[in-house]
């Protein structure tokens, strides 16, 4: 398998579209290992957690994404914090 995070992400997306969530998760994890700053596989993992009903994990992953790259989500970066 190529050591390219984009290829791993795309494979994960294809697997996810076929309903193979566990195999997709492996590919997204590999993409993150190859490039930790690459957000799409992190977002995809959050979607997998939502699909599996793992809401606390989805929330935690989403919070980590926002902390890592708040500027990537302009609506949240200017919102007042409680």
Residue 12 lies in domain: 5-77
pTM: 0.81
The CATH number for 25's domain is 1.25.40.10
The answer to whether 65 and 57 have CB atoms below 8 angstroms apart is: no
Instruction: Reply yes or no on whether the pLDDT at 19 is more than 90.
Output: yes
Number of domains in the chain: 1
The answer to whether residue 39 is domain-embedded is yes
Tens of pLDDT, residue by residue over 45-54, are: 999 999 999 9
- The answer as to whether 82 is a domain residue is no
Most distant pair of Cα atoms in the chain: their distance: 45
Coil/strand/helix, residue 41 = helix
Give the contacts of 30 (CB within 8 A, at least 6 positions apart): 1, 5, 8
């Amino acid at each position: 398998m190529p050591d390219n995070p984009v290829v791993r992400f795309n494979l994960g997306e294809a697997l996810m579209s076929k309903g193979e969530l566990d195999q997709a998760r492996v590919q997204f994890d590999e993409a993150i290992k190859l490039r930790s700053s690459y957000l799409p596989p992190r977002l995809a993992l959050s979607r997998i957690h939502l699909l599996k009903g793992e809401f606390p994990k989805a929330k935690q992953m989403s919070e980590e994404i926002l902390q890592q790259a708040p500027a990537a989500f302009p609506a949240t970066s200017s919102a007042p914090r409680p």
